Amino acid sequence: MAKIERKYMAHYVDAAAPGTEPGTPSYVRLGKDLEEYSPELSADVQKTKNILGETSTMLTSYEKSGTVEPYYAEKGDPLFERLQAIVDGCLVLDDCNTTVVEVHLWEEEDPESGYPAIKDDAVIEVSSYGGDATGYQIPFNLHYKGAPVKGHFKVDTKIFTAEGTA
């Protein structure tokens, strides 16, 4: 069995500005200037010991998040514009909501619906801005909300279609 190259696990972030017409996302692929992006799965594990001395372990949920660092700002890039709006307006609450689509490019592409993908709601948290002499940076975190939806993603049109919908 062949190993899968990292470039075949694609991560797209909806960079549409808050208040944009619902259903009109503007997906931007993460990766340029990034050497690593690995969403972390923080599991909620509960262990209990009964009076017999037995221990039971339950994994009840995951809190998923990922750090995008560095992120170099590029004029005209929709994701830069979204991040700069968060910085300039100190945006909070719903103004930081987005969606993230993880696309399995190693799987077979359906000519009509695209590659298998998972979409989840998320929140953008800008952690800082500025940077060093290499360029203006806006590193950020994505906090997934934990309601993944299976579907397909067309890379050329950047359209996600949930399973069971046309």
Residues 27-42: tens digit of each pLDDT: 999 998 888 999 999 9
Name 119's bridge partners. 101, 149
Closest to 34 in 3D by CA, of 71, 65, 6, 76? 71
13-30 per-position pLDDT tens digit: 999 987 666 667 899 999
Cβ count near 125 (within 10 Å): 15
Gap between the Cα atoms of 114 and 166, Å rounded: 12
Gap between the Cα atoms of 92 and 145, Å rounded: 16
Phi, psi of 78 (to 5 degrees): -60, -35
pTM score, whole prediction: 0.87
Q: Report yes or no: 148 and 120 within 8 Å, Cβ to Cβ.
A: yes
Kindly tell me if the per-residue pLDDT of 60 is higher than 90.
Answer: no
Q: End-to-end CA distance of the chain, in Å?
A: 34
When comparing pLDDT for 122 and 165, which is higher?
Answer: 122
Gap between the Cα atoms of 21 and 53, Å rounded: 57
104-145 per-position pLDDT tens digit: 999 999 999 999 999 999 999 999 999 899 999 999 999 999
Q: Which CATH architecture has domain 6-162?
A: Beta Barrel (2.40)
Gap between the Cα atoms of 155 and 158, Å rounded: 5
For the chain, the domains span: 6-162
Give me 150's structure tokens: 């299976």
